[in-house]
Homo-oligomer: A and B are copies of this chain.
């Protein structure tokens, strides 16, 4: 582990170590208050995200380090046509570690190929957001005492929500996790996630009603259902309240269930729920800071032990295939070759954005 691009870059053992280190930091923050003195974090946010950026910056400051960077592409050289690859090769002269958010899928994977300092993917379009998954895992582990033998409800838009997909894939690796997938039929998890759950022998159900199933859950992970995701207005009107968590539904839940949300929340959780002790989505932001502290520390130690480039091994460049994903970093950046992983005979997946061709 040198760069963090995907939530699956961590083994179960590595996640255990990160969460244990986060626990130590929570227990004794003073012992870590100067660990990164003289170190700098660059936050390269090509699109804005208050929460994620401030969480990274707070993490670095609480380790005694310093922060520089930009908070939107309009205040960066990207407006002059500078590539991600060049930006990273320049910024590594100014910082010891980079947290990068970019609107294009695969942007962080590109950065990894060129950076001599650790790169953390702080979100690449709708693709991956590994520190959100780490945040979710630390929150569950701190508040439930374990990551195994839990019934995890995921509610809302399960089709497009990257945080949901990442959390399912991460939790699949723990024993005895049961998933209750609550969504309108149009917004069920994609086929590849269902395939992965089946391959792992996981126990899961796909249901339409939160009300009927909330009582089973140890953890409820809420996400927003956007009107524009529905095929027709009637379906939206029929279903929208079904996926709003309110006090009435909370009354049906276990007394020790916890409610998570990747935030920002718009109206999918009623404000009356905020004061319920089971609503932990604001404390989640606190755990997000601690897990990022653990991550920064771990990556900087690893980089000190093994300096230099730490490129991923990539498949050979292709001159015939072209990734058709309009959000792929290859559509925006010259000098990045098309590369594909063969997933099955005659089937290929872009090595950058991981879309199937």
Q: A54-B42, A82-B50 are in contact. Are A68 and B61 (CB under 8 A)?
A: yes
Q: Which of B70, B90, B94 contacts A263 (CB 8 A)?
A: B90
Is A35 part of the contact surface with B, judged by Cβ < 8 Å?
A: no
Shortest CB–CB separation between residue A126 and chain B, in angstroms?
Answer: 14
Shortest CB–CB separation between residue A201 and chain B, in angstroms?
Answer: 37
Q: List 21 A-B contacts (CB under 8 A).
A: A40-B58, A40-B62, A48-B74, A50-B87, A54-B69, A54-B94, A55-B94, A57-B68, A58-B93, A58-B94, A75-B75, A80-B264, A81-B264, A81-B266, A89-B282, A90-B263, A93-B282, A93-B283, A93-B285, A93-B289, A271-B335
Is A195 part of the contact surface with B, judged by Cβ < 8 Å?
A: no
CB-nearest residue of chain B relative to A43?
B68
Q: Which of B77, B79, B265, B334 contacts A86 (CB 8 A)?
A: B265
Give 7 nearest A-B pairs by CB, closest first.
A58-B94, A82-B264, A271-B335, A93-B286, A71-B75, A50-B77, A57-B68
Is A206 part of the contact surface with B, judged by Cβ < 8 Å?
A: no
Shortest CB–CB separation between residue A181 and chain B, in angstroms?
Answer: 25
With a CB–CB cut-off of 8 A, which chain B residues contact A286?
93
Question: Which residues of A in the span 89-144 have a Cβ within 8 Å of any Cβ on B?
Answer: 89-91, 93-95
Assembled-state Cα–Cα distance A68/B94 (Å): 16
Cβ B69 vs Cβ A263 within 8 A: no
Assembled-state Cα–Cα distance A74/B49 (Å): 10
Is A72 part of the contact surface with B, judged by Cβ < 8 Å?
A: yes
CB-nearest residue of chain B relative to A271?
B335
Is A33 part of the contact surface with B, judged by Cβ < 8 Å?
A: yes
Shortest CB–CB separation between residue A351 and chain B, in angstroms?
Answer: 17
Cβ B33 vs Cβ A38 within 8 A: yes
Assembled-state Cα–Cα distance A79/B49 (Å): 9
With a CB–CB cut-off of 8 A, which chain B residues contact A45?
75
Shortest CB–CB separation between residue A315 and chain B, in angstroms?
Answer: 18
With a CB–CB cut-off of 8 A, which chain B residues contact A49?
77
Cβ B48 vs Cβ A86 within 8 A: no
